[in-house]
């Protein structure tokens, strides 16, 4: 790395006119120590030296390479060398990746990396993160998505400027080729690390970059420009399709449950618009992008299966009483949830084993008597439990009571609250009539509040 900041930089790579940086006092730079991120950090520090902005270099150590510690040390030395020339510091997050069976290492590492970058950016007080992706990366991403059978969303490749989870992610050089960044690195003698995994042919992106793209560019001189034109057209198409999906969603949402869809109204759309709407509906709830085969099933089968269920990447779509409802995996109660006790006194009691909270408040009506045992227990359904919905009515099985009250299947997995041997509360049905205290008598109101799924 050079010992001092140069007096001028190539205009093509300058960050001065980037709207996303206007008025910022802190900015984060994703910094792996590789060629491209080294150039980006160099430019960000040069800009910061003149503007007085604090730069936070964010380094994620995946722990997948034997050289990871050496790369981290290089990044620390590089940032230290520049700390006297501009306001820059280094933040590091070390990961211990455990890739689920059958999952993609590339995808799993990418998800973990962006999560770590977001955490470090927030800790540094930044709301903007700069990423060093360039035009060649964009071309590779488009081709990879095309080879995976992606639609307009995937073919849109990487956005240049997008807000996700409260952070702004900016890629200032998506229209600049890798060669320009490399020329800058060489001209300013910037040191960098070489990631040995970039030559691993087991990685799809590496095979594309090392074998396919050189041949494609040799055969078609304008390949990059043509592919980037397709990216821009896909981005336009995605915007239009998302707008259409929002129009259709406003017409198809169930009026009594904004998160649910009316199956009858969904059937009124043609198949292509149904698939487009369903994709947007799932994404808006935090689901991962469903595959085309899943969308094909979801757009047709619920019209004939009024009580079916369909697995999605991160949850389940339920059809129940003419409605479609998506339930995230994180909303499901863990198997084998144990019996848990909470004190029978006013307060909110978190029960992580059941992914929810018990809320106890004083009440004048509809509650249970204060006298008796001093705690309630949360238990799983075992079968055979009966619930009495109103005074004078017969106790009936929970299944029949749920059906009568219209409680959907995905809402029937909450714990049952017991007071000794007496069932006192069934979430979705309320307090059992046999346990209710007389009106006007001191009593406790009980309720169960499930936690929202993580990440939504």
Q: What is the pLDDT of residue 454?
A: 43
**Which conformational region is residue 342 in: left (phi greater than 0), alpha (psi within -120 to 50 degrees), or beta?**
beta
Is residue 444 within 8 Å of 370, Cβ to Cβ? yes
Q: What's 306's domain CATH number?
A: 1.20.59.20
Residue 445 counted as an annotated binding residue: no
Q: Name the domain boundary from 306, 328, 350.
A: 328
Any idea which residue has 């169960």 for tokens? Answer: 448
Residue 32 counted as an annotated binding residue: yes
Q: Given a cut of 90, is residue 174 above it in pLDDT?
A: yes
pTM: 0.76
pLDDT band at 455 (very low <50, low <70, confident <90, very high): very low
Tens digits of residue pLDDT in 114-144: 999 999 999 999 999 999 999 999 999 999 9
Let me know whether 197 and 273 are in one domain: no
Let me know whether 144 and 65 are in one domain: yes
Residue 35 counted as an annotated binding residue: yes
Would you say the C-alpha torsion 425, 428, 432, 433 has a positive or negative sign? positive
Q: What is the pLDDT of residue 8?
A: 52
- Beta-bridged to residue 173, according to DSSP, are 134
Tens digits of residue pLDDT in 399-427: 999 989 888 887 888 899 999 889 999 99
Let me know whether 315 and 353 are in one domain: no
Q: What is the pLDDT of residue 203?
A: 86
Let me know whether 323 and 401 are in one domain: no
Let me know whether 191 and 61 are in one domain: yes
Could you tell me the two tokens for 316? 């389940």
Number of domains in the chain: 3
Q: What is the maximal distance between C-alpha atoms in the chain? A: 88
Let me know whether 427 and 370 are in one domain: yes
Any idea which residue has 């509906």 for tokens? Answer: 281
**Dist CA 342 CA 337 (whole Å):** 15
Q: What's 41's domain CATH number?
A: 3.40.50.620
Q: Which range scores top for mean pLDDT: 67-71, 205-209, 230-234?
A: 230-234
Classify residue 417 as exposed, middle or buried by CB count within 10 Å of its CB (0-12, 13-18, 19+). buried
Let me know whether 323 and 390 are in one domain: no
Task: List, in sequence order, every beta strand (DSSP E) within 125-183.
Answer: 128-130, 161-164, 167-170
Q: What does the DSSP 8-state code read for residue 107? A: H
End-to-end alpha-carbon separation of the chain, Å?
A: 42
Is residue 135 within 8 Å of 228, Cβ to Cβ? yes
Residue 257 lies in a domain: yes
Tens digits of residue pLDDT in 283-331: 998 888 888 899 999 999 999 877 788 988 888 898 988 889 898 875 5
Is residue 302 within 8 Å of 267, Cβ to Cβ? no
Q: Which domain holds residue 356?
A: 340-450
Residue 5 lies in a domain: no
Residue 242 lies in a domain: no
Residue 160 counted as an annotated binding residue: no
Neighbouring residues of 15: CB distance < 8 A, sequence distance ≥ 6:
21, 43, 44, 47, 130, 172
């Amino acid at each position: 790395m050079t010992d001092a900041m140069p007096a001028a930089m190539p205009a093509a790579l300058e960050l001065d006119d980037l709207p996303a940086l206007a008025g910022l006092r802190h900015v984060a730079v994703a910094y792996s120590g590789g060629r491209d991120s080294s150039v980006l950090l160099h430019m960000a520090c040069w800009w910061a030296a003149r503007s007085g902005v604090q730069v936070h270099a964010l380094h994620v150590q995946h722990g997948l390479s034997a050289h990871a510690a050496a790369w981290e040390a290089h990044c620390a030395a590089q940032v230290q060398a520049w700390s006297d020339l501009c306001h820059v510091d280094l933040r590091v997050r070390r990961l211990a990746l455990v890739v689920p069976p059958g999952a993609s290492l590339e995808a799993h590492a990418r998800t973990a990396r962006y999560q770590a970058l977001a955490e470090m950016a927030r800790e540094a007080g930044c709301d903007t993160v700069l990423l060093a992706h360039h035009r060649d990366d964009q071309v590779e991403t488009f081709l990879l998505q095309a080879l995976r059978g992606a639609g307009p969303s995937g073919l849109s490749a990487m956005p240049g400027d997008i807000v996700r989870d409260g952070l702004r992610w900016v890629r200032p050089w998506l229209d600049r080729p890798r060669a320009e960044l490399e020329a800058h690195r060489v001209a300013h003698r910037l040191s960098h690390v070489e990631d040995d995994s970039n030559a691993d042919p087991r990685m799809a992106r590496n095979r594309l970059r090392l074998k396919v793209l050189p041949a494609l560019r040799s055969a078609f001189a304008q390949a990059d420009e043509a592919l980037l034109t397709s990216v821009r057209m896909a981005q336009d198409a995605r915007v239009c399709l998302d707008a259409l999906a929002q129009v259709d969603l406003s017409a198809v949402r169930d009026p009594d449950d904004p998160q649910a869809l009316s199956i009858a109204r969904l059937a009124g759309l043609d198949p292509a618009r149904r698939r487009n709407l369903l994709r947007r509906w799932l994404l808006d709830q935090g689901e991962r992008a469903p595959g085309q085969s899943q969308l094909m099933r979801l757009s047709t089968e619920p019209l004939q299966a009024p009580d079916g269920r369909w697995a999605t990447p991160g949850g389940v779509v339920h059809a129940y009483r003419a409605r479609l409802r998506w339930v995230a995996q994180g909303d499901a109660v863990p198997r084998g949830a144990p019996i848990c006790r909470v004190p029978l006194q006013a307060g909110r009691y978190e029960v992580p084993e059941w992914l929810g909270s018990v809320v106890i408040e004083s009440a004048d009506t509809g509650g249970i008597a204060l006298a008796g045992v001093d705690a309630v227990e949360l238990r799983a359904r075992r079968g055979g439990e009966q619930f009495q919905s109103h005074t004078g009515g017969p106790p009936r099985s929970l299944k029949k009571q749920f059906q009568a009250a219209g409680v959907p299947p995905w809402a029937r997995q909450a714990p049952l609250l017991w007071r000794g041997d007496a069932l006192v509360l069934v979430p979705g049905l309320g307090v059992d009539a046999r346990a209710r205290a007389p009106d006007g008598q001191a009593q406790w109101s009980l309720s169960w509040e499930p936690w929202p799924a993580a990440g939504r």
